[in-house]
Amino acid sequence: MKALEGLSAACCNVPPIIAKDYDIKGTYETIGGTTTYVTGPLTASTAVLYIFDIFGFSNQALQGADILATGNTHNHYQVFVPDFFAGTPADITWYPPDDDRKEKALTEWWSTRHPHTVVSKIPSLLEQFELYNPNIKRWAVAGFCWGGKVVSLTTQSNTLFAAAASSSPARMDPSDAAKITVPICILSSEEESATEVKAFTDALVVEHYVEEFADQKHGWMTARGNLEDETIRKAYQRGYQAMLDFLNEHL
């Protein structure tokens, strides 16, 4: 596996991470009937579909989207973050589900919002985003936790995306990995099973980059990342840098 600094000949530059009270750089738009956070220049010809975790529009996710939009000094991407939960994300107080009440609430929420439920919506949604910005010619996809499973499902035997990235991917299945058709970056935490990550990556037949953030909890790049903690903040920054390097290599 290549060292991180060897991923790209181009230089990326993740901006300083704001620990709290983050001031978003983009805007919320209604596109194709879906509330979507949009960030990055309208002149961009390459776009990233950012699929957040179960907690929706967290400040950590929005800052991450802004980083992907502007952190690459060679190519700026327009990033779209659609609200697949229609304003009803999971409550972060349910996690971890360490008592009966939280487990019940999380299980009931998940039962009607499985990643499979949004896969069929994505092609038409990308078409709507391209009407919003006709300059877009190419797409990448980045998914986090819940969104990581969506990435696995939407990169199989299709031409929607040129590259993919996934952080703390949920429910890793080698049978999904074997069908993925585009280069993919996978960033795992200490809470993903090393055995499952290996089985998944061993099944990949495409170019891939895999890195374990062994000192981080599941979801450190989105809502569960406490950016006031210096160790987590540095890992958050390094994770987005890895994604940017990988996407720049393949877009």
pLDDT of residue 191: 86
Q: Is the pLDDT of residue 12 over 80?
A: no
Tell me which H or E stretch contains 164. Answer: strand 163-167
Amino acid at 78: Q
pLDDT one-digit tens code per residue, 176-195: 999 999 999 999 999 888 99
Using pLDDT thresholds of 50, 70 and 90, give the confidence band for residue 2.
Answer: very low
Q: What mean pLDDT do residues 104-117 have?
A: 91
What pLDDT is stored for residue 158 in this prediction?
74
Model confidence band, residue 157 (pLDDT cutoffs 50, 70, 90): confident
Query: Structural domains in the chain?
Result: 4-250 (3.40.50.1820)
Query: Would you state the pLDDT for residue 170?
Result: 87
Buried b (16+ CB within 10 A) or exposed e, 227-237: beeeebbebbb
Question: What does the pLDDT read at residue 3?
Answer: 31
CA distance 10 to 91: 39
Tens-place pLDDT, residues 197-224: 999 999 999 999 999 999 999 989 999 9
Cβ atoms < 10 Å from Cβ of 21: 6
How sure is the predictor about 139, in pLDDT bands with cuts at 50, 70 and 90? very high
Structure tokens belonging to residue 118: 């949004």
Q: Note whether 151 and 166 are within 8 A (CB).
A: yes
pLDDT on residue 7: 43
pLDDT value at residue 205:
96
The pLDDT of residue 11 is above 70: no
Residue 55, both tokens: 């907690």
- Band (95; pLDDT cuts 50, 70, 90): confident
Closest CA to 246 of 173, 178, 174, 165: 165
**pLDDT (tens digit per residue) in 63-80:** 999 999 987 666 689 999
**pLDDT for res 75:** 65
Q: What confidence category does residue 9 fall into, taking pLDDT thresholds of 50, 70 and 90?
A: very low
Distance between CA atoms of 31 and 209, rounded to whole angstroms?
A: 33
Q: Distance (Å, rounded) from C-alpha 226 to C-alpha 236?
A: 9
Please give the pLDDT value at position 6.
42
pLDDT at 152: 96
Task: Return the residue matching tokens 């690459």.
Answer: 72
Considering the chain, what is the average pLDDT of its residues?
A: 91
Q: What is the pLDDT of residues 18-60, one digit of tens each?
A: 998 999 999 999 999 999 999 999 999 999 999 999 999 999 9
